[in-house]
Every structure is written in structure tokens, then in C-alpha cells.
A and B are shown apart, each in its own frame.
Chain A
Amino acid sequence: MRKALEFQGVHKSFGQNSALVDAFFSAHWGEVHALLGENGAGKSTLMNIASGLYAPDKGLVKISDKPVIIDGPQAANDFGVGMIHQHFKLVENMTVLENIVLAHGQGGWRKSLQRVRKQISDISNEIGFDIDPDAQVNTLSVSEQQRTEIIKVLIGGAKILILDEPTAVLTDEESTGLLDQLQIFAEQGKCIILITHKLREVFSHANRVTVMRGGKTIDSGQSPKNLTPEKLSKLMVGEPTEISRISYSPPKETVLELNGIFSKRDNGHTALDNFNLKLNAGQVYGLAGVGGNGQTELAEILMGVRSMNSGEFILSGTPLTNPSPSRVRALGLTCVPAERYIYGLAGDLSVMDNCVITHLKSGQFGTFFWTNRRAINKETKQAIIDSEIHGAEPSTRARLLSGGNAQKLVLARELAGSATVLLAHSPTRGLDVRACTAVHEALRKSASNGTAVLLLSEDLDEIFAISDQIGVINNGRLVGEFNSPADRSKIGHLMVSHH
């Protein structure tokens, strides 16, 4: 087999941070090559070099054994490299057809439309994707958008397909379908590079695997057949991870109650459909579910930034109808949001400001007319030490913190004082193992202090690691509830089966 894409001695740094250090990689024609690693291991950076988005500081890129310079996405396309990014590169308010013409149109717009329309239907038939070329992108589901991206790179003539965590947004069934399709592409002679951090996918669908850690290539080009999951995960994280199990403890008083909540998405589809939930003080309630089944809307309703269409929302014994965020907070609900830099932190402001913003009203940091900078500074320094927020000074801009440390900062703020309910939405998304553990410990600790923790997560490992009680949300409904320790396969089935 000939080599399709090869990297030798690639370096890339952003400011002071080295993303890639002497990384090497090689993938052959006709194979599915998994690129495995934790978040921040350098997988996406390496592949962004192949797709022309980044220029390497140093190093050699070869395609079909010939050294090349990929100095832009257009050049990547000319070399037959097509990448499907984690965040799709589609114009939301344009149709599928227009998006593809935008990327690969030639000559006049009208002529291109005709030609590409035919290409779309040819390729759709060939690979069995059913996609309406005239559908507007923002009306498509996530997996349809992904198919649009795949068709786009195929029309662009891609022979090396790079997919960045393609299954992160898909259900199990959709994932299997996609991975099977990728294997077919490989059998046709294409080179498929699958960036992932899921071991299961490596064993089920990859011909060979390269493992990266901390910007370096740890292991290159082995067949998964020669590896065990334990060996591979050790290569990936460098240290064994252990998962503790929580035993069920009897409930205390109910602090949050949701009865028959209905809510519609912005596009009119039902997000929450007669959703019920009861949360008790001192417990961690893990609400498991594949992303996009109503978790975001639920979190937003609890935070007070989205109004529900009907239903009962009782917090600390107080019935609420579409309360404001300040009302919800006054009743003791705090929140670790999914999108850290949207609802959790102001990236351009200092750690100090971010650390105390929700506590200014309490009066411990001076009066309305004169805030006590010294008290704020002292409190922040204490929080940095207590929560082990590395690389932070009170005056550091919050954006400069790494993901894990930024999340620790949010947690430190939201857990300061006495929260009745803590809403944690995907609190460890994008964090490394060590930061995950720290976040989990913080959540457990706050539960043992009497806070009711509601954990919304797509990650079953996380749910199982820290929950007293586990619920499953599917299609906007609570479809099952279990006390820990629960049957994992049963929960997994409820998450993905059709309701």
C-alpha cells in the first residue's frame, strides 16, 4: 500500500503554547486510520495543517510520497484533501446546494448550480445518503448537516477524507452507519482519517491507529488487532483512570420539582414534552441523554433565560412562572453552564471580576457605591489556591485560562456561598482527565454539603462516576429513572432507542 498523507517532524505553536512537537504521522490509501488522543493532544491541529488552515512552524508534509506545501484550504482541495470539521463549515441560512456551490462552484453561479445539483443526486444515490439539495441548512438535523459536509468534500474531489470527531454529535445508530460508510470509502481506495477519542470506534472500524498525547506522536500505525483496550487507553492518557461508584443514599427534602414541562425550540419543534423531575437535597442526580434531546432547553429554563410553554417549576418550595435569572439565583440555584464562555465567564475580563460577579449583592465586597477591591482580590486569591486554578492571577484575563482551569473558576464561584441547587451541564466537556476528576470531586463535595446537584451529561462514564440517582432524557421526556448502581446497558438503550 502506498502512503497517502505523511507528516515528518511537524512543529506548531500558538504564542507560548506548543500544540505540536516533532509530530509524525502516516496514513495509507485504502485504509481507515484512527487518530486517537485526549482533548488537546494535537490531533485537530495536525489535521488542520493538512487541510490548509494552519501553516506548520517547521516540518514536512507529503502527499503520495511527494513533499507539498498546503498553503490554504484551496490548495488542500487541489491536493485532494477534504476535512469535515467538528463545527461544520456551512452557511446556516443557505441551502445545501448553495453551500456546495459556494465551496466548489466553477464558472457562472447558475451553471454551477445545475452541475452541482446533478453531482449531489449522483453521489447521494451512490452512497445512499438521502439529502434534499434545496433544504436550508439550519432546518437540517446534525447528522444531515454532516452528510452535507461529506457530500461537499466528495464533490470537491477529495481522496483523503479527514473527519474530526464525527460521531460526537451522532446517536449510536447514526454513528455505526457513518463508520460503515467510511469503511466502504476506504475499500474504494480512499484514505480515511478518523480523529476520535472513542476506543470503541478504533476497535470496530479502524485498520490502523496513531496515538497522540501532549502534541507528540506516542504510537504510530499499529493495527488495533495487536492492541487491547487497556493498552490503548494507557497510551492515550498515560495513566490508568479509575472510576468510583457511588452507593445510593436515602433522599432528603425535595428542593426542585418540575411537573409537566412543555417547551418549544426556536424553530417550533418540541424540545421538552411533559418533562418531570424531582431533585432532593444532598444528591447528585445524573440526567443522561444524547445531546440535543432537550437538555439545553431544560438548562435554560432552570437558569431563567428561556420561558416554558406550560408546566410547574417549583424551586425551594416557591412555585415560579418564567422567573428572571436574578429571581432563580435569589432562590439558591447556581449554574455551571455547558458553554463556558457564553453563560459562565466573560473571557475579556479578569479572573477577579469573574470570580465575584454573582456575589457582589451579598455585601461582602463593599457597598453599592464603593466596592472593596482588596476584599475581592483576597477572595480571588483564596479561590485560586483552594480550587487549584493553575496559571491564574487575580488580574489574568479569564480567556487565557485553559479549559480545565476556567471550569474550576466557574465552579469556585458557583459553589461559594450556599447553593440549594447546582445545575452542571456537561461540566467536563473538553477537559483532560485530571481536570475531570477535580470537577467531579467538587460536585460530590457540594452534594455532601447538602446541595442538590443536577448533572446533565452525554458522557455515561461521568454519570456513573458521581450520580446517586440517574434519569434518562430522550426526545424531551424523562424515559427512565434508576438508583445507583444502575444497569449501564439498560440506560444506554433508553438513551438511543426511539421514543
Chain B
Amino acid sequence: MISISLNFIRRRRLTIEVRQRISLGLHVSILLGALFFGIGVCIAILLGRGVELSSIYEEFIVFTFFDSAGISSVIVESIPLVLVGLAAAVAFRVNFWNIGIEGQMFMGAIGASVVALFDIGPEILRLPIMFIFAAIFGIFWASGPAILKVRLNVNEVISTLLLNYIAYYFVLNQLFGPWKDPRDKFPHGEQYDIAERLPAIGWEQVHYGVAVAAFSFIVVWWIIERSRFGISSRFVGVNPKMALAVGLPVSTIVAGSAMASGSIAGAAGFVIAAATEYRLTFTMAAGYGFSGIVIAFLAGNRPITTVIVAFLMGSLFVAGESMKVFYSLPDALVGLIQAIIVLSVTASEFFVRYRLRLASFGDT
């Protein structure tokens, strides 16, 4: 009756199974394993380029983490990354895929620049006013897609993405036009006055942007982890149907989270304009939107892990920069190293979800 016949067989093979649960220890070991794997691949690539093992160790570990100048530049690098990471996490956890972080950063920087340009408010309050304007402009830029999403179910991926371009070209328009620097006629904004710049805290080049990041982190942590809004938003993210059925204000939570995301992105724009560039430029937001997405994803959209991942990402950037300078490695190689490490950690998610097991067939 059956055409295929097999004799007595004994065979073993690997099978993939869904994990029912995972212990914290195993989860952490998997992540660390992936990290070391990625680092191992990077070391192999660098060795292939003729960089010595000892100098890799010195650049990546010693000069990045155990050196005052190194660790401080990691912190400076991490400040905007923490902000964009938080911005992405706040939106992603209610399934609002905010791809428009860069646009919202530009708007934040525009808001800050308006205050700086027109000298709004007394000098002593200038920076807080710039911060508030930046946040409001960021909210403004996120509110369109947010309202369209909850009212008309317009896909926010498209609307936020396209608003990036509108913000970018608006900045270009201003910088080549009315806001062109009157001193050198270059297409960047007029330099901020001293009162409009975030001052240094007095350790290496670390500036008060660190306070903005810390403040944002505390507010986000409090809202997400401790407020009623935070608990409700967890349900909106994990099971929107249930959230609606048990009477949670789903639209308000989604729109509110999207606008909170916009405000944090605006704050990131403010920090870069007021602490690094001291003016509005059209290159200031480049790449930050996508860094934010990656950071939030790796951090599982949680505030504390977002800060940790942003810090590690910042150190990767710093180490990469010095590799570029001291070993004349091409830009692409630095990007490759960053990508390999991020990809390894991302891919390790597979082992968090599944287990591999040896199963045997035909075995009595």
C-alpha cells in the first residue's frame, strides 16, 4: 500500500523548538555570547587589515573606557543617542513606528534657533526657553502623523518618513535663504550667543546636554514604569484589541506616546544645536533617526536598557573614530565593524526565542 519502505532506522538530528520561558542568566549569557562573537569577527577583520591585536585592545578597551578623555567623549557621543533611543522606545512600545525622528530633531533645532535668533526671553532663561521650544516643535511635527493614525488609520511609517524630507528641505530653504550666516555667507545658521550654548560641566568636553539626557530618562522611566499611563500603554503595545475591550483610551495613549516621542527627538535636536554645533546646520540630524531605531530595538524599548545600549553604541562610535584617525582605516570599515556587532546582537534574539535540541527518530 505504501510505496516507500524503510528498514529499521536510527537517526539523530537537530530540531528547533520554541522556548516556553528563559531564565535571566541564560538570556544575558546569550547576549554576551553574541557580543563576543561579533567582536571576534571584527578582530579577525582588523587583523586582516594589519592592525595589531595589542592596538585593537588599547583602542577599544583602554582608550575608550579607562581613559578620562576617552570615557568623556563616549559620554558626549552618547547624549544624543540616549535621547533618540528614548524617543524611538516611547513610540515603539505602543506600536507607533516613528521613522520621523530626524525630522522631529530638525524641528527641535529650528525651535531652539528661533529663540536664539530672535533673543526671546531674558538671557538667564534663554536655554530653558530654547529647550521648551524645541520640545514643542518636536511635538508639533509628530502630532500630524499621530492624529492621522488614530483618526484615519493612516500608516505612520509613511507619514513620519516623508515628514523627514519636508523638515530637511525646510531647513535647507532657511539656511540658503533668510537664516544664512550673515558673517561668512555659508549655508548654516548664525552662531548662537554664549548664553544660548549649553555650557561645559567642567570635566573634559562633557556639557550640560548630559543633564537634558538624564532629565529625559528620568521622566520617561517614571511615565513608563510607574505612572498609570505607562501600565496602560504596555497593554496597548502588547495587545491593542484587549486594551480597547477593557476600556483603555487607546487612541489617546497612542497619540500621546507619539507626541512624547516627538518632544524627546526635539530635545535631541536642541542638544546638538546648542552643545555641539552652536547653530542650525543641515547635517546635524544625519543618521540619528536610524541609530535611535536600532538602540530602541536592542534595548527592548525599556528606558534603562536604552541608556545602556546607547552608551555602548556611543563607545563603538568613539573607538571607530579613533581607528579611523590613527590607523587610517576607511570609513566603510568602521561602519562595517559597527554593523557586525549590532547584527550579531540582533541575531542572537533567535536563540532567546528558540532552543536547539538533538532528537532521535526510530529509537525505541
Contact = CB atoms under 8 A, between A and B. Distances in A.
Contact of B362 (A60, A327, A341, A353): A60
B17 A357 contact: no
Given A56-B361, A78-B4, A16 B20 contact: yes
A371 B231 contact: yes
A344 B4 CA distance: 48
A68 interface: yes
Interface stretch (B51-59, B244-252, B279-287, B317-325): B244-252
Nearest to A341: B239
A346 B235 contact: yes
A55 B20 contact: no
B53 to A, nearest CB: 42
Given A58-B363, A71-B361, A371-B227, A328 B247 contact: yes
Most A-side CB within 10 Å, residue of B18, B231, B241, B246? B246
Contacts of B1: 29, 64, 80, 159
Nearest to B362: A67
Interface stretch (B6-14, B191-199, B336-344): B6-14
B177 to A, nearest CB: 45
Interface in A357-399: 357-358, 360, 366-371, 373, 397
Nearest to A370: B226
B41 interface: no
B6 A69 contact: yes
B178 to A, nearest CB: 43
Interface string B149-177: 00000000000000000000000000000
Contacts of B290: none
Interface stretch (A7-15, A116-124, A140-148, A214-222): A7-15
A358 B19 CA distance: 30
B183 interface: no
A347 B20 CA distance: 12
Contacts of A327: 247
B248 A342 contact: no
B359 A325 contact: no
A56 B362 CA distance: 9
Contact of A325 (B6, B247, B362): B247
Contacts of A347: 238-239
A267 interface: no
Interface string B332-364: 000000000000000000000000000111111
A197 B232 CA distance: 40
Contacts of B238: 346-349
B125 interface: no
A427 interface: no
B362 A358 contact: no
B245 A337 contact: yes
Contacts of A368: 227-229
A305 interface: yes
B19 A15 contact: yes
B246 A325 contact: yes
A63 B4 CA distance: 10
A357 B19 CA distance: 27
A60 B363 contact: yes
Interface string B126-152: 000000000000000000000000000
A69 B362 contact: yes
- Contact residues of A: prevailing secondary structure: mixed
Interface string B1-37: 1101111110101010111110000000000000000
Contacts of A14: 17-18, 20
Contacts of B17: 14-15
Contacts of A64: 1-2
Contacts of A57: 359-360
A255 to B, nearest CB: 19
Contact of A400 (B20, B226, B227, B232): B20
B15 A55 contact: yes
Contacts of B361: 55-56, 61, 69, 71
B180 interface: no
Contact of A343 (B11, B15, B241): B241
Contact of B231 (A16, A63, A79, A353): A353
A186 interface: no
Contacts of A344: 242
A159 B239 CA distance: 42
A471 B298 CA distance: 53
Contact of B246 (A78, A341, A357): A357
Given A60-B364, A303-B245, A79 B228 contact: no
B229 A56 contact: no
A102 to B, nearest CB: 23
A397 B245 contact: no
A318 to B, nearest CB: 16
B247 A69 contact: no
Given A58-B360, A60-B363, A370-B227, A349 B20 contact: no
A328 B244 CA distance: 12
Contacts of B242: 342-346
A342 B20 contact: no
A305 B7 CA distance: 58
Contacts of A349: 234-235, 238
A369 B241 contact: no
A190 to B, nearest CB: 10
Interface string B207-246: 0000000000000000000111111101100110111111
Nearest to B359: A55
B364 A326 contact: no
A205 interface: no
A151 to B, nearest CB: 21
A59 B227 contact: no
A349 B238 CA distance: 8
Contacts of B13: 71
Contacts of A304: 245, 247
Interface in A24-54: 29
A59 B9 CA distance: 11
Contacts of B247: 304, 324-330, 358
B241 A8 contact: no
B9 to A, nearest CB: 6
A8 B247 CA distance: 51
**A15, A78, A341, most chain B CB atoms within 10 A:** A15
A226 interface: no
A15 B245 contact: no
Contact of B232 (A71, A360, A367): A360
**B6, B15, B245, B363 — most chain A CB neighbours (10 Å):** B245
A353 B235 contact: yes
Nearest to B229: A368
A79 B6 CA distance: 11
A360 B228 contact: yes
Given A14-B20, A357-B246, A371-B228, A79 B364 contact: no
Given A15-B19, A56-B359, A303-B245, 11 more contacts: A57-B359, A64-B1, A67-B8, A68-B362, A69-B6, A80-B2, A326-B249, A328-B247, A329-B247, A342-B242, A357-B235
30 contacts: A14-B20, A17-B20, A55-B359, A57-B359, A57-B360, A58-B364, A60-B362, A60-B364, A61-B361, A61-B362, A64-B1, A66-B7, A67-B8, A68-B6, A79-B4, A80-B2, A305-B244, A325-B245, A325-B246, A326-B247, A335-B245, A345-B239, A346-B234, A347-B238, A348-B238, A357-B232, A358-B247, A366-B228, A370-B227, A371-B227
Closest 3 CB pairs of A and B: A326-B247, A15-B20, A346-B239
